[in-house]
Structures are given as structure tokens and as C-alpha cells.
Amino acid sequence: MATGKYSRVDGRKSSRYCSIATIVVFVVFCLVGIWMFMSSSIVPVTNSEILALETRNEVKQIVPKGDSKQFDDTSGDLSRDETIDDGGGLPSKVSGITDEDNFTENVVTGSDNEEKESHNSAEKNQEDSLANESSDEKAESESAQKRMDEDDGNGNRNVGEINSRDGEPNVGTREAENEGGEMKKVSHKNSKESSGENGSESAESGKNYEVDETADKMKLVGKEAILTESKNDKNEDMHLEQSDVGNSVESKENNQASNEILPAGTQSENLTESTTQNGAWSTQAVESQNEKKSQQSFISNENSDLRWKLCKTTAGPDYIPCLDNWKVIRKLPSTKHYEHRERHCPDEAPTCLVPLPEGYKRSIKWPKSRDKIWYYNVPHTKLAEVKGHQNWVKVTGEYLTFPGGGTQFVNGALHYIDFIQDAVPEIAWGKRTRVILDVGCGVASFGGYLFERDVLAMSFAPKDEHEAQVQFALERGIPAILNVMGTKRLTFPSSAFDLVHCARCRVPWHNEGGKLLLELNRVLRPGGYFVWSATPVYRKGPEDVGIWQEMSRLTKSMCWDLVVVKRDKLNNIGAAIYRKPTSNDCYKKRSKNAPPLCEESDDPNAVWNVPLQACMHKVPVDSTERGSLWPAQWPVRLEQSPYWLNSQVGVYGKAAKEDFTADYNHWKAVVSQSYLKGMGIDWSSVRNVMDMKAIYGGFAAALKDLKVWVMNVVSIDSPDTLPIIYERGLLGIYHDWCESFNTYPRTYDVLHADHLFSSIKKRCNLVTVIAEVDRILRPEGKLIIRDNSETISEVESMVKSLQWEIRMIYSKDNEGLLCVRKTFWRPTEEEPIKNAIV
């Protein structure tokens, strides 16, 4: 300020106008230089993009109300230095510029008032200098804006496409709510107002705070959070606490929010077999660059020509590729062993979409769905006409209703369930007996009512003249699968089920040396029960008597103990209950080796397309072998590692028991902190869930408190962990995802795929897998994918082409999470599937 006073004193001497003018000009330039120096010290070069936006008046302020938090995608990403608030509603650098501008203007004005004669000269020089400064600032602003535009064109292209498709406006000022109305709380807390000086101090603490973050990009689509990590953050509208305590709290909260999606530390060790063992995590720069390249390559090479069509088949809306391959079925030399009901997958899996039944509606929620479903969802009446008198199913207006009966329990399943336990109290539903197999299940009312006893039933039946029986079961929310006792082993491990049930299941158990009953012996746990409720047990006709005699000889030679034969007077039926032996003593005492024991080289767990054999496997007796001991009672068995996991190395490289525990803890954290809170999924509307790549069943176990059931699928090219899943009291099946699954279309509410697609695309076309996902997922159902970023990008592109809604997307260090919702959209163009047309 001394220079300013000196210029004003000299200005009083009228004889030195030229010198004064020169000095004034010099002072102006000095002040401008000082202002520019101070501005550069306040505004980092990296923030030039925001300065440009502020110069162009494009800054929009969002101030969260109260304690609420919300996402903001109005101005893109949020960089570390741009989160600082000076308390005046704009970043501190804006206040700095404004103060410097005002200071310079005040000095020049004072000089003008005292030196009227030098006014014109000084003003001219000032305007020239300001014009030059404005020109430089404008050029810098335009350059920054251009860079931002380029970033938006690349980094935010996908979300832009989604918003454009859905017709959604910019949702930066909108609250992010999930379907249950709960707001996703991931954004920063609102800060208190402070001066520019305090804002500068906050800036320093803010930088320290941001070091612990990974700079997540957050967006909204259809009121759902889309979280995508990016290194170029540009959101200047977020607020921070001013104190170090506040920053520490926020850092903890934000780190927790990040961990909810992809848990860090010990939890992240169980994300995938490949990444957890080598610990190779790429940088954000490499990830972003690779993701953009892979996405552009994928879109240009494959999805640019991806045009979905409707499958035109004889089965129509009920098309099942591996069960409706009429080209192969017509050429079968024999159907004696139900070969025509077995899987015959086409050489090339279809890439078309199955049409919806006319009038299809969103499925009725459980538990109401157990008693009634929408008629137009499964518009088949034949079973109601044939089995209505047995209380299987009836047509009631716009509903199909299920009175809870069956051929053997016309008066209701619950009475029949209690009848079985009264006959053999040791069965102990929901305690000793947890997982059972229901053969020839019909509409699966038996399994549906066993939920009230804490029992899971794997119900199965073939796709036969009992029209859509398994489809009825699945639409009701009851576990069921299409399968047949034919020429191949069932796709379950040995010694899996605590009990096997057959109520008039129409299976000729005694034929061909008892081959089919011996298959049940394979999957039945030693000490488990076989409940046979059929006419040969209680009727005395010649055919029934003959079958009973054959069954008696067969079961005796198999060393099964006939525990009881009991009559149910209410339903006028009877049941014979057998128990499988727990030792090999009986086998050694048999006078004839018939049926024979299987060869030692025969693996009882090898089941994928393995032919049936009329032999029995020995019962394991070593206490370290699976099957030698009965599992702990439910629900203890769910969380307890199996006793036979000893010296094995687990899937993730640790000791098996440690692996098991770590996997369970990981999925409990992910489900509770992310899936139940942050996905926007209304779990009250979810019933049928599938884990497409289950390892130890940890995901299913973590859902134990919800009213859902989970089909755990173990891929044939994955470690064989399905026996562990059954040991825990959960259901599962083997499958090859290069082929279609044995279920009807539109049967699952949620599909979960943890690092499945990146592995499966090495063996088969990923488009066919996505087409299969579309087939089995219900409209408005959710697909949750955890995989590497490249695969996430590929799947994201494909589901967009299916007009699905992106509910959440998140990536971090080349690992990603994607949650999408299927819509009711169907293409109009048809594609005839020649092998599926009769």
C-alpha cells in the first residue's frame, strides 16, 4: 500500500503529469502482477477446468438438507482439490479471485478520484492490461472446457446413453432412493460455513482426507446409484467438514461405502481365485485406458451387429433349448428309458429371445404365490382338468390356485408331512433332516409346505404329459428342476440328500436290476431315509403285489432297512420308509453279490453325462471321509465347516477350513452392507434366486434370514464344491453354462454371477450365455455380476442392447460390479429355430 500512497502524494504536483502517468501505469502493472501471482498460488493448475466453468457461469450448487446425503452427477466426477468449500457457496479459489479483483479495482478508483488529469491515460493502460488478462483467461477456459468435453465423451458415454434411452433428465439434484425408499448414503456430509481463510485450511485437510479415497465417480439412472471409479473427477458441488475430526469421520464413512461394494483387506481376498492369489491390482490409469479400449473394441467388433430376435419354436414362450431339440429327439433309436425326456442340446446354443406369454404379469409375491399364481403367466389348463379332483391345481378366474393337495395327500400336504414324521420321529424335519429330494414332484406342493418345517426340497420331474408341472412349481416360488430318471446319473453329488421322497412318482424302481433305485442310493446320505408312498405299499391288486415283492427283494439285497410301513387313514394311503446303512457289514454278509458293488475306480461324484450303472458304492466309514458322519443339526450345519475338510487346500489357496470361513465372512459382509442396502432391490419381492457360480455356498448362506431359496450352481469347469454346499443344508446342481439350464423361461427373480462370465467366455460365446440369462430371468428380475472390468463392460453393452436398466455399476482396480434389471422389452423380428419346430 506504500506505493499507492506515494503515487497519490506525487499526484498533487500538476507540473509532473507525464511522470505521474508513467508511475500510475507502472503501479497498475505491478498490482496486476501481484494479483496474477496470488491467483496462481490459490488456484492450482489442476483446477483450471473448474475455473473455466466458473468463468462461464456454469457452476451449480447442491446443498444437502439436514443430515441427508445424495449423489451428484451434474458436473461429472469429483477431483481431490475441488471438494474444498470456502463457506461462501463457491470453491475457495473463486473467493480468492474476487477479492483480488476488488482490491485492484479499489486502488485504481482511488487514484482516479485524486488525479483527474491522469485519468484517461491510466484507464487506457488498465483496460489494455485487463483485456490481455481476460484474453488469456478465456483461452485457458476454452482449453479446459474442451478437455472436459472430451472426457465426457469418453468416460461418461455409457451413462449418457442410458439417460437418453430412459428419457431421464440430469439427476444431480435428485435424491438417490432404492425401491424400498431408503436413500443410498455414500455422498459427503454437508460442511459448516467458514471464511476464505478457513476454506484454505480446509483445503489442506481435504487433501489429506482425499488421499485415503479412490475418487469414485457416482451417477444415477432411474433413481438407482451407478458408481464408477474414475481418476478424472470434476464435481465441485460436494462439501466437506472443516475440522480434522470431521474429515476423519468422513474418510471412515467413504471408505466403508467403498468396502460395501468391493470389500477391502481380508474380505477382498475371496473375490476371485485368479486375482486373490497373485495380488495383481492395476492402477486406475491403466484400468481406465484398458476399459475404454476393450469397450470400443467389443462394441465395434461384436455388438455393432447384435440384433436380437424372437425365437420361433413349437414350444413358444416355454422354449427350453436342450429339452426341445426335436431334430435329435425324432432320430432317437429308442425311448424305452425316457431318452426323449433327457437333455439333447443343439450344436449351437440359440442367441434369440423367448417371447412372453400374452398377458404376462409380474409374479405374485411369496407366500401368497404358494396358493395362487396368475393364469396368463403359465396359461396351461390340462393339469387342472386331469388332476383337479386330487387338489393339485384349479382354474379360478384369472388365477391358477393350489389347494395344497397331491395324489397321495388330497387333504393337504401339512397333514401328510406330519404323518411321515409320526411314522419315524427320527426324521425330525428341519433339524436332522434339512435337504431332501422329491422325485416326480408334480406341482411340488410337498416341497412348498416343507418350508414351514425348515426343510429344503429339490423337486424334480420331467417335461412330459403332465403339462408345465415344474413350471407351476417355480412360478409358485418352490425349488424345482426339470429332470428324469433315465439313462444318466442325476446331476447331484453322492451322499447329498438327507431324505428321498417318492409319492406315486411312476418310476419302475425294480426294473433292470434296480438301476434307478441304485441311483437314489448313490445320492442318499448313509443313514438317510427313502419314503415310498405308492399303491404297491397299500393295495393288494396283482400288479401292486408283484411290484411290492420285487421291491422287497431289491431293497433287502441293497441292505436297506425297512423301518416301517404305515397307513394314513385320512388320505387312505400308506408309506414304506427305508433307511440306508451306515456301514459295509451287510454288504459283506450277502450270499449273492447282486446288485454288485461298484469298482473302486468308479467315482460316485462324477455325474455330468455319465451313464447309470447297476451297482452300489461302498459306504465311507473312515471318520475323515465325507458321509461317514451325519451333519450337525440345522441351522448349526449352515455355519459350521464340514468335519471332512482337513488337509485340503481351498479354492482360494488357504487351508480348506480357513477358506470356508473366510468365504462365508466375505459374503455376509457383501450381502449385508451392499446387496441388501445399496442395490435398490426390493428383497420382499424376491423369491427364486440362483447363484450361477457358487463356491462354498457363502452367498446363499448369507441370505438365510430372507424368505428366499437359492439354487447353487457349480460349473463343471469349477472346483467340485457342491458336496460342501449340501453339507451346509443348501441346494445345488452341476451345470455347463455353454448349454441351456433345465428350467422353464422366466423362473428366477435374481441371478448372481461371481466371476462366471470371464471364465465361461473362454469356452463359449458370451452372447449365448446372456441369451440364456434372459430366458430364465423374470421380467423386472435382477442380474448381479462381479467380474473383471473388461467383462463387466462387455456384459453392460449387451444388456443395454436388450433394453435392460442399469441399476448400479462400480469398478475398482480392474474389478467391477454390475447390477441390471430386465425389462418387458421383446424384439419384433422372429428367428425360426429349425431344430425346435415339430
Q: Is the pLDDT of residue 71 over 60?
A: no
| Number of other residues whose CB lies within 10 A of the CB of residue 414 | 16
Average pLDDT value over all residues in the chain: 76
Give percent of the chain above pLDDT 70.
Answer: 65
The pLDDT, as a whole number, for residue 22 is 73
Q: Give backbone dihedrals phi and psi of 759, rounded to 5 degrees, phi first.
A: -85, -40
Q: What 8-state DSSP symbol labels residue 808?
A: E
Residues 223-275 pLDDT 10s: 344 444 333 343 434 333 333 444 443 444 445 445 545 554 333 434 444 43
Longest CA–CA span in the chain (Å) reads 140
Q: Give backbone dihedrals phi and psi of 575, rounded to 5 degrees, phi first.
A: -140, 140
- Give the Cα separation of 375 and 660 in Å (integer): 43
The pLDDT, as a whole number, for residue 186 is 33
User: At a CB cut-off of 8 Å and minimum separation 6, what does 687 contact?
Assistant: 363, 365, 366, 369, 477, 707, 708, 709, 749
- Answer yes or no: are the C-beta atoms of 498 and 476 closer than 8 Å: no
The pLDDT confidence band at residue 216, using thresholds 50, 70 and 90, is: very low
Query: What is the grid cell recorded at 757?
Result: 462370465
The pLDDT, as a whole number, for residue 84 is 35
Question: Which of these, 756, 736, 764, 748, lies nearest to 822 by C-alpha position?
Answer: 748
Q: Calculate ∠ Cα 106-111-115, nearest 5°.
A: 155
Q: Give backbone dihedrals phi and psi of 21, rounded to 5 degrees, phi first.
A: -60, -40
Q: In what order do the strands lie in the sheet with 394-396?
A: 372-374, 399-401, 394-396
Query: What is the grid cell recorded at 365?
Result: 409375491
The pLDDT, as a whole number, for residue 448 is 97
Give kind and range of the element (H or E) at residue 414: helix 413-423
Q: What 8-state DSSP symbol labels residue 333?
A: S
Question: Which of these, 132, 114, 144, 111, lies nearest to 35 by C-alpha position?
Answer: 132
CA distances from residue 379 to 402, 469, 471, 774, 829 in whole angstroms, order as listed:
15, 12, 11, 20, 24
In the block, cell 436398466 appears at 805
- Answer yes or no: are the C-beta atoms of 453 and 465 closer than 8 Å: no
User: At a CB cut-off of 8 Å and minimum separation 6, what does 389 contact?
Assistant: none
Query: What is the grid cell recorded at 24?
Result: 500510475
What are the beta bridge partners of residue 219? 226
For 242-246, 394-398, 826-830, which range has the lowest pLDDT when averaged over its residues? 242-246
- Answer yes or no: are the C-beta atoms of 118 and 17 closer than 8 Å: yes
In the block, cell 420321529 appears at 425
Give percent of the chain above pLDDT 90.
Answer: 59
The pLDDT confidence band at residue 525, using thresholds 50, 70 and 90, is: very high
The pLDDT, as a whole number, for residue 96 is 38
The phi-psi region of residue 181 (left if phi > 0; otherwise alpha if psi is between -120 and 50; otherwise beta) is left
The pLDDT confidence band at residue 524, using thresholds 50, 70 and 90, is: very high
Instruction: Please tell me whether residue 70 adopts helix, strand or coil conformation.
Output: coil
Give kind and range of the element (H or E) at residue 165: helix 157-166
Residues 739-758 pLDDT 10s: 999 999 999 999 999 999 99
**DSSP-assigned letters across all residues of 124-151:** HHHHHHHHHHHHHHHHHHHHHHHHHHHH
The pLDDT, as a whole number, for residue 837 is 96
Residues 672-731 pLDDT 10s: 999 998 888 999 999 999 999 999 999 999 999 999 999 999 999 999 999 999 999 999
The pLDDT confidence band at residue 499, using thresholds 50, 70 and 90, is: very high
- Whether the bond between 779 and the residue before it is cis, its omega within 30 degrees of 0, is no
Instruction: Please tell me whether residue 568 adopts helix, strand or coil conformation.
Output: strand
- Give the Cα separation of 3 and 23 in Å (integer): 10
- The number of helices, as runs of H, and strands, as runs of E, in the chain is 26, 21
The pLDDT confidence band at residue 38, using thresholds 50, 70 and 90, is: low
Residues 564-596 pLDDT 10s: 999 999 999 999 999 999 999 999 999 999 999
- Answer yes or no: are the C-beta atoms of 344 and 328 closer than 8 Å: yes
Better-predicted residue by pLDDT, 732 or 274: 732
The pLDDT, as a whole number, for residue 17 is 54
User: At a CB cut-off of 8 Å and minimum separation 6, what does 214 contact?
Assistant: 229, 258, 284, 812
- Give the Cα separation of 236 and 240 in Å (integer): 11
Give kind and range of the element (H or E) at residue 207: helix 196-211
Residues 168-199 pLDDT 10s: 333 333 333 333 333 333 333 333 333 344 44
User: At a CB cut-off of 8 Å and minimum separation 6, what does 752 contact?
Assistant: 689, 690, 691, 692, 699, 784
**DSSP-assigned letters across all residues of 352-379:** SBPPPPTT--PPPPTTGGGTEEEGGGS-
The pLDDT, as a whole number, for residue 276 is 38
Q: What 8-state DSSP symbol labels residue 472?
A: H
The pLDDT, as a whole number, for residue 406 is 87
The pLDDT, as a whole number, for residue 261 is 56
Q: What is the mean pLDDT of residues 326-337?
A: 96
Q: Angle, nearest 10°, between helix axes 119-155 and 48-55?
A: 120
- In angstroms, how far is the first alpha carbon of the chain from the final one? 97
| Number of other residues whose CB lies within 10 A of the CB of residue 51 | 21
Question: Which of these, 800, 801, 751, 755, lies nearest to 776 by C-alpha position?
Answer: 751
- Give the Cα separation of 201 and 195 in Å (integer): 10
- Give the Cα separation of 389 and 406 in Å (integer): 9
Q: What 8-state DSSP symbol labels residue 193?
A: P
- Whether the bond between 536 and the residue before it is cis, its omega within 30 degrees of 0, is no
Q: Is the pLDDT of residue 32 over 90?
A: no
Half-sphere exposure (Cβ direction) of 57: Cα atoms closer than 13 Å: 0
Q: What is the mean pLDDT of residues 405-428?
A: 94
Q: What 8-state DSSP symbol labels residue 101?
A: H
- Give the Cα separation of 721 and 745 in Å (integer): 27
The pLDDT, as a whole number, for residue 605 is 96
Instruction: Please tell me whether residue 72 adopts helix, strand or coil conformation.
Output: coil
Question: Which of these, 233, 320, 459, lies nearest to 741 by C-alpha position?
Answer: 320
Query: What is the grid cell recorded at 214?
Result: 479412490
- Give the Cα separation of 291 and 289 in Å (integer): 5
